[in-house]
Amino acid sequence: MWTLSDTTFTARSQAHQETIYTIGNGYLCTRGAMEEGYPDDRRATFIHGVFDAAPIVVTELANAPDWLPVAIFLEGERFSMATGTVESFTRALDLRTGVLTRAVRWLSPGGRIATITFERFASLADEHLLCLSCRVTPEFDGSIEIQASLNGNTDNEGLAHWRWQAQGESNGAIYLSNRTRQSGADVALAMRTQVEGTGQCVEQAFWNVQNAPTKMLKFAAKAGETVAVNKFVSVFTSRDTAAVVERALQHADTAITWADALDANATAWAGEWERNDIIIEGDEEAQIAMRFNLYQMLIAAPRHDDRVNIGAKTLSGFGYRGHSFWDTEIFMLPLFIYTAPHIARNLLNYRYQRLPAARHKAAANGYEGAQFPWESADSGEEVTPTWVTHFADRTKMVRIWTGDIEIHISADIAYATCLYHRITGDDAWFIAKGAEIVLDTAKFWGARAEWNAAKDRYDINDVIGPDENHEHVNNNAYTNAMAQWNLRMAFTVLDWLKAHAPDVAAQITIALDLNEARLAHWREVIAKVLIHQEASGLIEQFEGFYKLRPVLMADLEPRSRSAQEIFGIEGANHVQAIKQPDVLMMQYLLRDNYSAETVRVNYDYYNPRTDLAYGSSLGPSIQAVMACEVGDSEGAYEHFIRAARADLRDVRGNAGDGIHAASAAGTWHSVVFGFAGLRVAPDGSGWTIRPRLPAHWKRLAFSFFLKGERQQVDITAQTFGTA
């Protein structure tokens, strides 16, 4: 169960298929567009950290120069599935190795038949190496011409980011270099071709086409003999080196065979799966979907760069422009913390380096401490667009408030910082960097909480919680509880630092001005911040939620739209329709603070009010965990499989914009914390499981790391029973 495949090509679903057939290696990702190109394709390669300015969205990952183009001519007839007849078509992505293959038997309009096979991968063994092979087996005697190019004429849905810099041929390799218009980032590609197979190459030429240098290879082919050309592309950016062209050419000079490149890549992938794989027996769809979602996380995860983060759509599409959200810290980071701590550390370092920008944002809003942006790109400044076009009526603009008031992300980042420390035991990193993140975000919360003298309490007013259907709310339980947790954690961290690194504790106390008055104030906020919990244990999502017009999702059926579309952006504010778990999300993260009964009461109340079918893609995976917690086994599977299918089946109709990264990573949460019921002791000293496997699952097995030691979990239905 490692292969994703299909046997039809439909121009209409190209964008979706391009997303799911994305390949990558943590340095870059390339969407699964075809080598020969089609009018409506959304071909793109995104390289981590290569951003450029863009109107409205502030900055976006620039669609890099295209390394894929291969044009094939059979006796002068250009291969295209849009002409002639496609006699057979198979496409397969091997999730185990990240190799994408396509085989097409094509009858040209002129009556010539050939089987054309493409294979491509971004080497995980060498992140600067991209490999593409093209094999043509004709059923006629005649000429076959293959034109392999690099193409700098790319754009982001109409916006061109690149200025041509240089191109040429050097020592048999072809190169192309471009620079982004505003940010000045250079990218150089160098391409080397290699002829294999039995077909005789009769002519080769370098065509110096402006911004699309091309290597032409002509073969005198015979029926049944395969003509094969391998295209190796080396890629470097000015984030790697100042001499991009030289480095790319040097790299392209290293002789490597297709077989060796394939082998090295497979070995590197084997190591990844060794740490990350999840085995599910008894449910083929869940098994392949689980591996697909993990694969999508693994190809987007920066292994050798701690200056970048993972966008909400990974590197697989234009959606959200490569910007990072809380999706990273709350959904993706736990997966990496438990299975690949080195990747988790890179992602946290990205946030640490952006503390100055977070301090700047807090100060600009009149607060002390560090306030992280809701959407973050390269600089760490807020890059949430302020106005966007209305999704249903493109003549209207909608004000986006999340960049102003969805502030819980600062506590979310602190949360992931502490989780990393708890699970990995990486004291050195926590002393050097992590502690500062927790303390400076606490400082922000201390300043942000408002004293309400009339009610003798602290309020956090005018926010958006995880449930974005409700804007400008006061005392959102999730935000307040996470702020309270962040402040409490600051004391734990200070005590821990004093015991383990007294010098650092002293320095940081001075640097962040953690004086007694401030600490006393924090204690006050912790004690008096409003989290409204009734005697029954029910927690009000925000002040006034109970007064909104009651709406249960069942009342809206049948429907094919989100509650927000049904009620309108403004109207949704006035009804109890929740976009994604909010109180339940809080209980999920702060699980040890709530009894099983309190979790049940809140699940029973909020589950029917949450738009899991059409709301945010972030909802179902976590709802699955909470359903497991309360023994709602049917609900748990329904939510899990919805998340697992999100991109594979294009459940929301927008997978063409890129992978729903939080949902993909969230499926790992559903399985590990939900179905397996993994709980790690608060001090990281041990763990337990409480299996609640779906009735048809026969086995669930995975591993994780706790304080550097590998732990194995293997649950069989016979041993543990099902939920």
Q: Is 157 a catalytic residue?
A: no
CA distances, 607 to each of 76, 480, 518, 585, 623 (Å): 61, 21, 39, 11, 8
Nearer residue to ligand IFM within complex by CB, 313 or 433: 313
CB of 675 vs ligand IFM, minimal distance in Å: 23
CB of 662 vs ligand IFM, minimal distance in Å: 6
How far apart are alpha carbons 470 and 464 in whole angstroms? 7
Cα dihedral 372, 377, 378, 382 sign = negative
Query: Within 10 A of 358 (CB to CB), how many other CB atoms are there?
Result: 27
Of 51, 175, 236, 325, which one interacts with ligand IFM (CB under 6 A)?
A: 325
CB of 244 vs ligand IFM, minimal distance in Å: 32
- CA angle at residue 462 from 460 to 467, to 5 degrees? 95
Q: Which residues make Cβ contacts (< 8 Å) with residue 268, sequence separation at least 6?
A: 123, 124, 125
On the 0-12 / 13-18 / 19+ scale of CB atoms within 10 A, 192 is buried
Residue linked to tokens 């740490």: 275
Site for ligand IFM (CB under 6 A): how many residues?
Answer: 10
CB of 661 vs ligand IFM, minimal distance in Å: 7
The amino acid at residue 529 is V
Closest CA to 446 of 372, 371, 382: 371
How far apart are alpha carbons 159 and 168 in whole angstroms? 26
Only segment of 165-173, 220-228, 322-330, 517-525 that touches ligand IFM (CB under 6 A): 322-330
Residue linked to tokens 């496609």: 86
For ligand IFM, the binding residues in 57-76 under the rule CB under 6 A are none
How far apart are alpha carbons 618 and 82 in whole angstroms? 37
CB of 144 vs ligand IFM, minimal distance in Å: 46
Task: Given the residues 18, 127, 329, 468, select the one marked as catalytic.
Answer: 468
Instruction: Give how far the C-alpha of residue 626 lies from the chain's centroid of Cα atoms, to the nearest Å.
Output: 23
Nearer residue to ligand IFM within complex by CB, 426 or 611: 611
Nearer residue to ligand IFM within complex by CB, 52 or 327: 327
Nearer residue to ligand IFM within complex by CB, 25 or 314: 314
How far apart are alpha carbons 388 and 211 in whole angstroms? 33
- CA angle at residue 592 from 591 to 596, to 5 degrees? 70
How far apart are alpha carbons 392 and 121 in whole angstroms? 38
- The secondary structure element, H or E, covering residue 166 is strand 162-170
For ligand IFM, the binding residues in 346-375 under the rule CB under 6 A are none
- CA angle at residue 338 from 332 to 342, to 5 degrees? 80
**Residues in contact with ligand IFM, shown as a per-residue x/- string from 604 to 643 under the rule CB under 6 A:** ------------x-x-------------------------
Nearer residue to ligand IFM within complex by CB, 265 or 324: 324
CB of 615 vs ligand IFM, minimal distance in Å: 9
Nearer residue to ligand IFM within complex by CB, 56 or 527: 56
For ligand IFM, the binding residues in 438-467 under the rule CB under 6 A are 466
For ligand IFM, the binding residues in 241-270 under the rule CB under 6 A are none
Closest CA to 600 of 631, 634, 638, 633: 631
673, 615 in Cβ contact below 8 A?
no
**Residues in contact with ligand IFM, shown as a per-residue x/- string from 302 to 321 under the rule CB under 6 A:** ----------x-------x-
How far apart are alpha carbons 115 and 138 in whole angstroms? 6
Of 468, 471, 629, 632, which one interacts with ligand IFM (CB under 6 A)?
A: 468
- Residue 327 as a binder of ligand IFM (CB under 6 A): the answer is yes
CB of 616 vs ligand IFM, minimal distance in Å: 4
For ligand IFM, the binding residues in 480-499 under the rule CB under 6 A are none
How far apart are alpha carbons 374 and 619 in whole angstroms? 18
How far apart are alpha carbons 192 and 254 in whole angstroms? 10
CB of 400 vs ligand IFM, minimal distance in Å: 10
Only segment of 200-208, 211-219, 324-332, 623-631 that touches ligand IFM (CB under 6 A): 324-332
How far apart are alpha carbons 420 and 433 in whole angstroms? 12
Nearer residue to ligand IFM within complex by CB, 193 or 384: 384
409, 463 in Cβ contact below 8 A?
no
Query: Within 10 A of 688 (CB to CB), how many other CB atoms are there?
Result: 9
Nearer residue to ligand IFM within complex by CB, 283 or 382: 382
Count, residues in the chain: 723
Pairing, β 99-107 against β 85-94:
antiparallel
CA distances, 707 to each of 421, 534, 710 (Å): 9, 39, 8
Nearer residue to ligand IFM within complex by CB, 150 or 563: 563
Nearer residue to ligand IFM within complex by CB, 128 or 660: 660
The 3-state DSSP class for residue 94 equals strand
420, 426 in Cβ contact below 8 A?
yes
How far apart are alpha carbons 700 and 693 in whole angstroms? 8
CB of 322 vs ligand IFM, minimal distance in Å: 12
**Residues in contact with ligand IFM, shown as a per-residue x/- string from 658 to 677 under the rule CB under 6 A:** ----x---------------
Nearer residue to ligand IFM within complex by CB, 57 or 715: 57
CB of 254 vs ligand IFM, minimal distance in Å: 39
CB of 320 vs ligand IFM, minimal distance in Å: 6
What does the binding site for ligand IFM look like in residue numbers (CB under 6 A)?
Answer: 312, 320, 325-327, 466, 468, 616, 618, 662
Catalytic sites, residue numbers = 468
